[in-house]
Amino acid sequence: MKVTQVAIRPTEESNRKNRPALTPELLAASGARYSRNNEGLEAILAKIDPDNLDKSVDSIFKMIDYGHQSIADMVPVAMFIDGVSLFLAYYIWSVCPTASGQESSTRYINYGSETLISADDLGIPNALRDEWNANTQDCLRAYQEALQEWENLAASDGELARIPRSLLQDESDKAQKQVARMKRNYGFDRARNFLPSCLPTNVMMLMSARAWTQLCQHLRSHPLYEAQTLGEKIAGELNLAAPRMTRHAVRQDSIVAGLEREHQKCVALAQSESPFLQPNSTSFACPPRAHLDVQLPAGVAESDLVSDLEFHHHRYAWIGENLKRSVVRFGWDAVALAEIRDLNRHRTGTKHCPLVPQGFYAALEEWPEKVRPKNGVLFELAQAGRSASRRARELLRNDESAYVYWTALGTQFPFEHVTTAEKFIYEAELRTGTGAHFRYAQHLRDVLKLWYDRFPTTRDLILEGSAEPE
């Protein structure tokens, strides 16, 4: 695991125009000065000693003591995080939903050849290490075999891979490159369910020093050794960009207690709920039943929602105030971690995901009907994912925190999102259509059906299925 803070330097054009360049904390100090007087930027910059930029921060004010912690929101910090587990990457995005950034994508990268994170770095208990290693290797073998099956199918018939005929018939270089990419994605999209969540990935995030500090507090308070290690490394890099914040980036007793309470709730659920589907199941997957609850403002009717969508010609277009004031709670009984990692990235509202394994999803129903007999290969492979997910649940029942490293991306968990109606509509439009991943497109279509059942006159005004090809 490696964390690198990357500073931002002025462009050549900015230098030619003689624009000021400030350290992250000095930028915040200068902005915060506005709240105490109206002297303007030039007067503030005149107080800066170019030979001692760090000392100049205190000459303007003492950052945190000057006011509330929102001052630290004006301290931009970018970090690149290499070699964290797929699970921990999910967790840090759940703590920082408004962060900007990217992550290595399981939809575009063959992860099967990645070097594993060591049991030491993950904090796998000694007594479980042989079992954990065998579980991981089983899932990786299943991933490679499943990927080969799906890639062979896509190569044999592009239409089976759901590639638009117009693209297949277009002989231009641009179209052929897009077809090749969609064929690769087709295989990755379906095989990735077998990837163990302990595989390494890379994450880049850009957010304020305050947000980095809060992330450090969560990580250093977390029971997982990997999370604690990452929190320490981030705090060390944060010290380079915003040293005045580092003293706050420490373990918090309240977070320790809160995380333990939430974990014990998951333990109790794992102990009380019915186990996985019976061994003779044809899919191993728990049904992803959708649920939707909408609370409209007082006095607002369905006709008002229709009016709000009158000028909504694309997913970034205007939506009226009634939808913006309406509260939406939606989710599913069981969603694969692969999709949760994507759904979790939507910035708005609050997401809830009790990490209690419910089943294992392997995209078995995706195998086309006319070649259905070969589905038996995937069914056999799916048993590796089911076995891993079921064992993760057993470890959770026994209060073992490292159980998450037995899960795979196909392991299913309950997932819920609370937001406002216009943001729900944006998500539904973004996550359906040719350019959307097939599984979360289906999840959102299922929720949209519940929306249409309640508000049928909005059906033709929501741009379901409009996402462009990737």
Q: Please compute Rg for the chain using Cα positions.
A: 25
pLDDT in tens, 57-69: 665 555 444 444 6
What the block records as the tokens of 211 is 């947000």
- Give residue for tokens 């195998």: 367
Asked if 322 contacts 296 with a C-beta cutoff of 8 angstroms, the reply is yes
pLDDT of residue 53: 66
The SS3 of residue 414 is strand
Instruction: Evaluate if residue 388 carries a pLDDT over 80.
Output: yes
| Number of domains observed in the structure of the chain | 2
pLDDT in tens, 308-345: 999 999 989 999 999 999 999 999 999 999 999 999 98
CATH code of residue 364:
3.30.1360.170
Whether 206 and 314 map to the same domain: the answer is: no
Q: Smallest Cα–Cα separation from 438: which of 353, 384, 367?
A: 367
Residue 114 lies in a domain: no
Please give the model's pTM, rounded to 2 decimal places. Answer: 0.90
Whether 247 and 297 map to the same domain: the answer is: no
Whether 243 and 307 map to the same domain: the answer is: no
Whether 314 and 407 map to the same domain: the answer is: yes
- Measure the CA–CA gap between 193 and 353, rounded to whole angstroms: 18
Whether 215 and 297 map to the same domain: the answer is: no
- Measure the CA–CA gap between 4 and 234, rounded to whole angstroms: 8
Range of the domain at 457: 290-461
pLDDT in tens, 248-273: 899 999 999 999 999 999 999 999 87
Whether 231 and 369 map to the same domain: the answer is: no
For 171-192, give the secondary structure using H, E and C.
CCHHHHHHHHHHHHHHHHHHHH
Whether 307 and 361 map to the same domain: the answer is: yes
Residue 331 lies in a domain: yes
Those residues whose C-beta lies under 8 Å from the C-beta of residue 95, and which sit 6 or more positions away, are 214, 215, 218
In Å, how far are 61, 76, 82, 100, 305 from 71, measured between CA atoms?
A: 11, 11, 29, 19, 38
- Measure the CA–CA gap between 294 and 123, rounded to whole angstroms: 42
- Give residue for tokens 């125009």: 17
Those residues whose C-beta lies under 8 Å from the C-beta of residue 301, and which sit 6 or more positions away, are none
pLDDT of residue 58: 63
Whether 339 and 226 map to the same domain: the answer is: no
- Measure the CA–CA gap between 297 and 219, rounded to whole angstroms: 38
pLDDT of residue 157: 80
Whether 386 and 295 map to the same domain: the answer is: yes
Whether 224 and 372 map to the same domain: the answer is: no
Whether 427 and 367 map to the same domain: the answer is: yes
Band of pLDDT at residue 40, cut at 50, 70 and 90: confident
Those residues whose C-beta lies under 8 Å from the C-beta of residue 44, and which sit 6 or more positions away, are 30, 33, 60
What the block records as the tokens of 422 is 């216009």
Those residues whose C-beta lies under 8 Å from the C-beta of residue 65, and which sit 6 or more positions away, are none
- Measure the CA–CA gap between 98 and 353, rounded to whole angstroms: 17
Q: Which of 225-234, 338-347, 437-446 has the highest mean pLDDT?
A: 225-234
pLDDT in tens, 178-194: 888 888 888 899 999 99
